[in-house]
Amino acid sequence: MNGRDAVGAPRRVLLVDDHPIVRQGLRRLIGNEAGLVVCAEAETVREARQAVRDHAPDVVVVDLSLKDGDGMDLLKDIRAHHPGLPVLILSMHDEAVFAERLLAAGASGYIMKHAASEQFIVALRRVLEGGMYVSEALAPRLAGRRPGAAAEDPGHPISLLSNRELQVLQMIGRGLSSRQIAETLHLSIKTVEAHRQRIKGKLELASGAQLVQFAANWVAGH
């Protein structure tokens, strides 16, 4: 059954992802669900902001990594200008690293891209109903957490990193080169190297080797 055949107006979904094949798959999946319809797509933060204004979606599904910024930028903008609009983060990045930070910033849910399609629909419907979605593995860590509560110890140096720097740190810890990180995040190698320098400064690390070791230990701890 197509979402348009449901009783009453279908709930409108805005898809924000810079990979056309991902958007196509999500559109097809959502189109097969009763009461849901994709009202628009966007692949950049700028396009997404315009689409929210033009199409008045009921929920926004946002990839954490976008060509001209990241999902955190868009999430903050939506929270500032459309505080009642639920945002579901769909990401390739480890939920143990990013989910708490995004939920603390106002996301309604966080789901990994490798999750089953049925689980994505569960997550989408839950946030549309006003609930919060995280995986069963992460839920115990968030039990009792107030919306907007801090995700990290403010005294820990990791809390000083921006969302993009956190992405870069995670990839360094997974053994990716600057070129590989640049290709994955749609950045220039020069930009990735600048991120590495800022991360070293914020974490008070003296060398690239210390950064790699810190990142590897940090990733292993998650």
For residue range 16-70, what is the model confidence (pLDDT) as tens digits?
998 899 999 999 999 999 999 999 999 998 999 999 999 999 999 999 877 777 7
pTM score, whole prediction: 0.75
Residue 143 in this model has a pLDDT that exceeds 80: no
Task: For the chain, give the mean pLDDT.
Answer: 87
Q: Given this model, what pLDDT does residue 220 score?
A: 77
Residue 127 in this model has a pLDDT that exceeds 90: yes
Residue 211 in this model has a pLDDT that exceeds 90: yes
Residue 105 in this model has a pLDDT that exceeds 80: yes
Among 20-34, 119-133, 173-187, the minimum mean pLDDT is found in 173-187
CB atoms within 10 A of CB 88: 22
Residue 7 in this model has a pLDDT that exceeds 60: no
Distance CA 47, CA 33 (A): 25
Q: Are 132 and 108 in contact (CB under 8 A)?
A: yes
List, in order of start, the domains of the chain with CATH numbers. Answer: 3-142 (3.40.50.2300), 157-221 (1.10.10.10)
Residue 153 in this model has a pLDDT that exceeds 70: no
Q: Given this model, what pLDDT does residue 30 score?
A: 97
DSSP 10-37: PEEEEEE-S-HHHHHHHHHHHHTSTTEE
46 Rama sector, left if φ>0, alpha if ψ -120 to 50, beta otherwise:
alpha
56 Rama sector, left if φ>0, alpha if ψ -120 to 50, beta otherwise:
left
